[in-house]
A and B are shown apart, each in its own frame.
Chain A
């Protein structure tokens, strides 16, 4: 039934419907944030939930679209968070709106630059080196932030202006999702997916594999950086330990549980997995166990990329 309706819809109608969904989504946000439906604790979850959605959708570009395992997404988030926070803290002569807008973009761009710098040497190599290098990168970034003065070191950075609102978060979510979707329908996006599907064939079709791997990686880092800026301006305090390995794994769990390459899946998984632990607050150990179990189960049993990724990690140089 839905399929039939979908078939009948022309491009224009579909676009109108998408805009409708966006508006309804925003109205829902306003109701939840301003109304009496949620208690304070749940209301305070709205912004972090949105940030998690951005992180999940953006990591999906690396892991789902491109098919490369990245274990350092929180590192890019950290770069964005600190860049944005330092900017708004020191550039006080700008009024909040332009200051925050610039901070968000700056955080994204800085993260993307790091994405390119890390991607360039690593993504040239064949095999799953990216997982190892991104893991190391995430930890190094954290140590560097810890050691620097401008970031406040281990004490953290405080008195960051609290500019983040659900409206800002909502806007960035929309941009992230639209970019991810449009990427899939562009020649660049098709090139990225073809690399995941069969690198040798992609090369034979004229796709410059390294270039498009770096592109996907940089776009993902860009949005993670923006998510970091939103995060930094939500609580007014930043600590390097927030962006540790566990945070990267949490994001990866959203992507894997939601289904590799599925934007909708990432959104749903990020939503469920942000709210669920709060509801089961006391069961924090259980949460970790659930995460680990879910990840293993999904990767082993779900046909598709999870499985392929494991087998790729375990073996093999294919014959051409």
Chain B
């Protein structure tokens, strides 16, 4: 069984069919690329997968369990985490706190424990801190752990978003243009980190990217969207040879 199985997914805003008849099947451990020109509906698919929007048709299964109809918080707990194209950090919290928020559902002490600083509270908080620090290390953010997120340079903000998503302990990680606005060196470094994380944590990744070359270099499978519909899907070599894909990208 595929980890994520999406069938005939669609949503319309008023008259606009932003996404239509999209099928997607991602195996456990895969690095899957979602590409397409501006306005193709890539981010909308993420919003559908994470419960921000409810689909007007189609089904979304994670490990065979329905995701549509669930709230974003429930979907997060089912094991799907994401980053945002327009960065959404908790700006006035520190880097460490940003990641600690993501452990929300992995610690269970009560409000009273927190008020009385019980043993249970102290043990759980220490563990969260340790785990959060470990994730920050992977993303080379340890030195900035006490910096407010808003004061991080742009590239590090992008990294922090990924670190935060990873901290929710997801099975499936959705990355919305993680390298946007980065220079080639930063992009290369980030992609290496993503590969490392994928191996280390054994997670499955769905990645939105504009840069065809970049995506085809690291992804095992691709789905190309155009005007909300599937243009092609499969392994990169074949998809990139597809004449429709070539026109969609180079045509106009």
Contact = CB atoms under 8 A, between A and B. Distances in A.
19 contacts: A179-B115, A182-B117, A183-B114, A183-B115, A186-B109, A187-B104, A187-B107, A187-B109, A188-B111, A197-B91, A197-B93, A198-B89, A198-B91, A200-B72, A205-B76, A205-B104, A205-B164, A208-B71, A320-B52
B227 interface: no
B140 interface: no
A37 interface: no
Contact of B105 (A178, A194, A206, A215): A206
Interface of B: 43, 47, 50, 52, 71-73, 76-77, 81-82, 84, 86, 88-93, 97, 100-105, 107, 109, 111, 113-115, 117, 121, 124-125, 128, 164-165, 168
A46 interface: no
Contact of A206 (B73, B121, B124): B73
Interface residues of A, number: 29
Nearest to B80: A204
Contact of A204 (B72, B105, B124): B72
Contacts of A197: 89-93
Q: From A182, A198, A202, name the one whose CB has the most chain B CB atoms within 10 angstroms.
A: A198
Contacts of B111: 186, 188, 215
A202 B165 CA distance: 11
B53 to A, nearest CB: 8
A209 B90 contact: no
Given A197-B92, A201-B90, A203-B71, A190 B43 contact: no
Contacts of B105: 206
A192 to B, nearest CB: 10
Nearest to B110: A188
A139 B165 CA distance: 44
A209 to B, nearest CB: 7
A206 B90 contact: no
Nearest to A304: B92
Given A186-B111, A191-B101, A203 B72 contact: yes
Given A198-B89, A206-B168, A320-B84, A191 B71 contact: no
A193 interface: yes
B84 A201 contact: yes
A188 B128 CA distance: 14
A206 B52 contact: no
Contacts of A320: 43, 47, 52, 84
Contacts of B82: 204
B160 to A, nearest CB: 11
Contacts of A206: 73, 76-77, 102, 104-105, 168
A68 B245 CA distance: 48
A303 to B, nearest CB: 10
Nearest to B167: A205
A185 interface: yes
Which interface residue of A178, A189, A197, A201 has the most chain B CB atoms within 10 A?
A: A201
Contacts of A203: 71-73, 76
Given A187-B109, A193-B90, A205 B102 contact: yes
Contacts of A188: 111, 114
